[in-house]
Amino acid sequence: MVNLIQRQNHMDETIAKTILCVEDEPEMIDLIRLILARKGFNVQGAAGGLEGIRLVRELHPDLVLLDLMMPDMDGWEVYQQMKADQALRNIPVIVVTAKAQNIDKVLGLHIAKVDDYIAKPFSPQELLDSVERVFSQK
């Protein structure tokens, strides 16, 4: 019986976590998918904020990687809609953006309370470290 429970727990750990990448540049979604898929994550892409908030509601991903500067709906609007929705507010968010001045990072981490903030361009290891750090906190 103990063996069966241990095996079940082991299988639960191997279920791939779903990460939704909300980003208006398809090449960036592909790059993030390439980096994270090698570590077993299931990465879905959303081409912009409107599609992003729709897919967050539909998929309930384990994590959202969120660009800030998008033409249809910016990342902060997506983030605010997530936090206003009881079903979505506990989904962790990592902001991945070229808007990387110190004030933006302070606003993101300390005022908006995003889970992490990564500046573009980033290294694959930087992205992996951030994702693993956020999952280890949940």
CATH number at residue 36: 3.40.50.2300
In a domain, 125, yes or no: yes
Number of compact structural domains in the chain: 1
Chain segment 43-90, per-residue pLDDT in tens: 999 999 999 999 999 999 999 999 988 989 989 899 999 999 999 999
Q: Specify if 8 maps to a domain.
A: no
Q: Report the side by side order of strands in the sheet with 18-22.
A: 42-46, 18-22, 63-66, 93-97, 116-119
Written as one string, the DSSP assignment of the chain is: -HHHHHHHHHHHHHSPPEEEEE-S-HHHHHHHHHHHHTTT-EEEEESSHHHHHHHHHHH--SEEEE-S--SSS-HHHHHHHHHHSTTTTTS-EEEEES---HHHHHIIIIIS--SEEEESS--HHHHHHHHHHHHHH-
- Say if 97 falls within a structural domain: yes
pLDDT, tens digit, 9 for 90 and up, residues 1-30: 433 343 344 444 558 999 999 999 999 999
Domain assignment present for residue 1? The answer is no
Query: CB-based contacts of 44: which residues, under 8 Å, 6+ apart?
Result: 18, 19, 20, 21, 55, 59, 61
Domain assignment present for residue 6? The answer is: no
List the domain range (segments joined by +) for residue 56.
15-137
